[in-house]
Chain A
Amino acid sequence: MSAFSAIGEEREIDREEFTPLQEPQPTWCPGCGDFGVLKALKQAMPEVGRTPDEVLLCTGIGCSGKLNSYFESYGFHTIHGRSLPIARAAKLANPGIEVIAAGGDGDGYGIGGNHFMHTARENHDMTYIVFNNEIFGLTKGQTSPTSPKGHKSKTQPSGSAKDPIRPLSLSLTSGASYIARTAAVNPNQAKEILVEAMEHDGFAHIDFLTQCPTWNKDAKQYVPYVDIQDSDDYDFDVHDRKEAADMMFETENALHEGTVLTGRYYVDEDRPSYGEEKRSIGEMPEEPLAERYYDEDYEWERSYDLLDRHK
């Protein structure tokens, strides 16, 4: 038996396998967009062909951080903003596993903003889902990095003086090789995008619009949604960085008024993932590092062999 026999197992996979048997009572409020993410993710898994045992889902803190409590796989519920550095190292240590990270807009674009930028820059082979409801939910409704300018909350009673983060543009500038926006109220598109993101070899960032019926009554702003890939009004080359940037610019400036555009914004299939880059320069082994600890025939080098330079 191999040390990681779950990896690469080929069989029919049922989405219900991803529902925990002893599912904790969700702490999400009725009508919360997070249910939509969970549902879309479960629906995507059979198409991706991964079993629960070969998936690692790392989350941050906040309502979104509970995602892996309700999703059956290996899970690491980490700390605020830090799901990405934990997830990307797990992927480097064992490239055979499917690594997904998830967090909220405060978690991912606020406290974890630096990690987001650098994980995108390095193009780690993983999927990153950001639950974007433009509010801090679990801490009871404070202004978040994506809240629109002028947004009033208990911590910014006069209305935020800050421009919101533009997640898609930030992601593109940072170097993500797959960028999409979808919405919890749009489950079919969400599932399709999740499948693509997981199959993409590189850093796939999904800005996942979720509504917060409790703390952000403006959640209605996301209606109506238009799929940019289905609409004749938006014709651009998703592989062209500049055209993608222009589309994002247009969309992100208009996010809070009128139509909300969702779909794929940028896809770069040519750029090697970080793991591949590291392997190509000899900084990462060909075989998954984690397997070595279970290989009884592997010969471990000793530091003794390095001592010549100290004599």
Chain B
Amino acid sequence: MIASVWAGQTVGWLMPAEASKEAGQIDGLFRFMLIIATGIFLGVQGVLLYSAFVFKRAKDDMGDGPNMHGNLRLEILWTAIPTALVLYLSIYSFEVFQLLGAGSPMGGGAHHEDSGLPIRFQATNPDPSAPPPLVIGVEAVQYAWIFSYPGSDTQVSELHLPIGQPVRMDMKSNDVIHAFWVPEFRLKQDVIPGRTTQVSFTPTKAGKYQLRCAELCGAYHGGMVVDVIVEDKKDVDAWLKSQASLGTSTRVAQLADPAAAYGATSGTTVLQSEQTRALVGHLRAQGQ
């Protein structure tokens, strides 16, 4: 029991920092499941270890144990309790899942023009007082991320987000499936060619994080990483302005150097040039 509750406290070092409004909810759910799981785990290991020592047969004892085939009451018990538990977990998870839609329609995970969802599943904005989300266009290419901010036709390769402002990513892919994942935000959404997928969240903690591609997308998948900077809104605006005044080539040259994140090892120069080449190629195709 005590050990289970202790396990719940370890979430702090098991998980990275909570940097979005959604992260706390998800961690709470994870902590709850970790506590239950630790209890079950310790119970099972306890029975196994206890049996191994206490029920170990004497060397010359060739006899059998009791001819016992089962115990109906016990079996009903260990069917009913897990059933109740998983049903409770279903409800808990459902509630957390609904909260994840904060700032955007609950249909949020994917944008299906023709999904034909019954109206009741299109949950409305749970918090009408929240400001409208900042919608950022995301384009994933092998092996880079390209972001477009509203009211600016500059495409940038780094993500700056205003603190406390709900954001929504409208994501498209030109080649293969990628996945948007910032571990500190706890949210992940595949970026699928042929459709627009969305992910919504509210960054709450200033800092520098990493956006990592989480769906295998080819040879340099592991290097498809860019910085995500959560800062005050005025800093974001200033950064956007500074980017707009730069020429494309300068912006690309400013591209965050992935080599720095991995230490100076032999392969990384290739990695950077690949990523840069992908970006340059893309921007050229856009006629910039």
A pairs with B: no
